[in-house]
């Protein structure tokens, strides 16, 4: 039986589902690696060593960004049979599969890739070297896949991509992500819930803004690639938004959809970051009420401009990351407590009665519920960062 270990982003998770379908029933072990940070690369290497140890008779294959950027290094690890670079990751011939698998997902919440690669050049990021330029899937194929997933019983779809909001720049007519979302909602009327993965604040145009603000089938959960809360640091990162833009975007959306839950990626200890710049990121968490925070301690990636900039001392980076996480945990704790007494629509995703509300809060139910169903739940408490509730 195939064993697949996935590291990193939702796009990797979506691609691992396709790989799983192509190698199903075979003695294959796969590591779908990540290169977003130096720690992610280390974790990828550890996963390869563990699978080699635990599956000595399996064909061990490594794919993903880390393996694409450093194929020789991963191929040299003990037990690795071969490395599959990202451009071939979903090609049936790379997995000795006869044809592309039908749309499928092992989860009630299905991840659907609509875009890959990135045309931007953020100074800290090595992912374009692993993923290549931005490429979008035509809307027709995306809609067919989503319709098939809904027909198979999936109640929520998450659109994923490396740079999701750049969707369509390479397609005829240059359709936007907002146009794609409109077509999905119109042409797949039986899809109850559509969720968007990470968005670039600078690329949310009026059409997409209106959908997030007003469309009930688009989940009230906004995850932004903010990265920092200081304008000079954002400029040195070569980001295309400033602090005021991100804060204003969140404020405008919340005014129209108060239940909106905001997530964000934030980097601690970017080169040249002083205490004042760091305070800008710290304050951003409270100012925007970021309740789904992904905190990354900066780690220099060889070959990126940021690696050549004056570095913050590693102990300071770790300490700042800890402060960001503590503040984010406090903001999230207050948010969860404020949901007690409310009724949330929960998609049951796993046996053991675990699911997510529309705002992406994790909810645990005291009684069994069918996986894949959406149930109204009255929230009665909070435990271990999860909401506890009773089905209505």
Looking at the structure, tell me whether residues 294 and 239 fall in a common domain: yes
For residue 2, what pLDDT is reported?
Answer: 81
Q: Is the pLDDT of residue 114 over 70?
A: yes
Residues 206 and 87 in one domain: no
Domain count of the fold of the chain: 3
| Per-chain mean pLDDT for the chain | 94
* Amino acid 25: pLDDT: 85
pLDDT over 70, % of the chain: 97
Residue count of the chain: 392
**Both 48 and 145 in a single domain?**
no
Residue 104: inside a domain: no
Answer yes or no: do 118 and 248 share one domain.
yes
Do 380 and 354 meet the contact criterion of CB atoms below 8 Å apart? Answer: no
Let me know the angle formed at the C-alpha of 7 by 23 and 20, rounded to the nearest 5 degrees: 15
**In the predicted structure, residue 368 carries a pLDDT above the cut 80:** no
Residue 180 resides in a domain:
yes
Q: Do both 359 and 245 map to the same domain?
A: no
Residue 120 is assigned to a structural domain of this protein? yes
Mean per-residue pLDDT, 258-280: 98
CA of 250: how far to CAs of 61, 210, 332, in Å?
Answer: 42, 13, 16
Q: Cα torsion for 86, 89, 93, 97, to the nearest 10°?
A: 170
Q: Specify whether the CB–CB gap between 188 and 225 falls below 8 A.
A: no
Contacts for 363 with CB less than 8 Å, ≥ 6 apart: 344, 346, 354, 355, 356, 357, 377, 379, 386, 387, 388, 389
103 falls within a domain: no
Q: In terms of residue numbers, what domain contains 220?
A: 109-338
- Flag whether 324 is in a domain: yes
For the purposes of burial, counting CB atoms within 10 Å of the CB of 361, is it exposed (0-12), middle (13-18) or buried (19 or more)?
buried
Instruction: Label residue 354 by pLDDT band (50, 70, 90).
Output: confident
pLDDT on residue 345? 96
Say whether both 331 and 352 belong to one domain: no
Rounded mean pLDDT, 186-199:
97
**62/200 same-domain check:** no
**Coil vs helix vs strand at 365:** coil
Q: Give me the residue label for tokens 């027909």.
A: 151
Which residue, 113, 23, 116, is CA-closest to 65?
116
**Are 68 and 23 contained in the same domain?**
yes
Among 301, 320, 338, identify where a domain stops.
Answer: 338
Q: Which of 95, 126, 157 is the last residue of a domain?
A: 95
- Contact predicate 317/278, CB 8 Å: no
Residue 37, pLDDT > 70, answer yes
- pLDDT (tens digit, 9 = 90+) per residue, 73-104? 999 999 999 999 999 998 999 998 887 666 55
C-alpha R_g of the chain: 21
Q: Name the H helices within the chain.
A: 10-23, 38-54, 65-69, 71-75, 127-131, 139-151, 177-187, 206-214, 231-237, 243-256, 275-287, 314-338
Q: What pLDDT does residue 180 have? A: 98
**Average confidence (pLDDT) over 356-365:** 95
- Report CA 75 to chain centroid distance, whole Å: 27
334 and 348, same domain (yes or no) = no
User: Would you call 175 helix, strand, or coil by DSSP?
Assistant: coil
- Using pLDDT thresholds of 50, 70 and 90, give the confidence band for residue 24: confident
């Amino acid at each position: 039986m195939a064993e697949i270990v996935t590291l990193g982003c939702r796009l990797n998770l979506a691609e691992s589902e396709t790989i799983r379908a192509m190698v199903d029933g075979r003695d294959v072990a796969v590591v779908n690696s990540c290169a977003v940070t130096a720690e992610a690369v280390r974790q990828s290497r550890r996963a390869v060593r563990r699978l080699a140890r635990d599956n000595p008779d399996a064909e061990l294959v490594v794919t993903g960004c880390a393996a694409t950027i450093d194929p020789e290094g991963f191929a040299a690890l003990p037990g690795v049979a071969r490395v599959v670079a990202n451009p071939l990751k979903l090609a049936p011939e790379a997995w000795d599969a006869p044809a592309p698998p039908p749309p499928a997902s092992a989860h009630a919440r299905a991840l659907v890739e609509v875009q890959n690669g990135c045309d931007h050049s953020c100074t800290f990021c090595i992912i374009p070297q692993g993923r290549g330029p931005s490429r979008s899937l035509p809307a027709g194929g995306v809609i067919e896949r989503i319709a098939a997933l809904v027909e198979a019983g999936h109640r929520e779809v998450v659109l994923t991509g490396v740079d999701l909001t750049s969707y369509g720049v390479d397609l005829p007519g240059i359709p936007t992500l907002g146009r794609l979302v409109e077509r999905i909602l119109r042409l797949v009327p039986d899809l109850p819930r559509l969720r968007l993965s990470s968005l670039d604040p600078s690329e949310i145009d009026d059409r997409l803004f209106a959908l997030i603000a007003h469309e009930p089938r688009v989940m009230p959960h906004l995850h932004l690639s903010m990265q920092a809360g200081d304008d000079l640091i954002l400029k040195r990162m070569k980001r295309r938004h400033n602090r005021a833009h991100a804060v204003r975007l969140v404020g405008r959306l919340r005014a129209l959809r108060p239940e909106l839950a905001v997530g964000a990626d934030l980097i601690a200890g970017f080169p040249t970051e002083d205490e004042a710049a760091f305070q800008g990121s710290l304050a951003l968490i409270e100012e925007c009420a970021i309740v789904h925070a992904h905190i990354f301690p900066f780690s220099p990636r060889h070959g990126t401009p940021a690696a050549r900039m004056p570095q913050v001392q590693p102990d300071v980076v770790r300490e700042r990351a800890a402060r960001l996480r503590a503040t984010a945990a406090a903001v999230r704790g207050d948010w969860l407590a404020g949901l007690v007494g409310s009724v949330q629509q929960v998609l049951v995703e796993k046996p053991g009665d675990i699911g997510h509300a529309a705002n992406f809060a994790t909810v645990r139910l005291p009684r069994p519920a069918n996986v894949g169903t959406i149930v109204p739940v009255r929230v009665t408490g909070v435990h271990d960062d999860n909401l506890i509730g009773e089905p209505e």
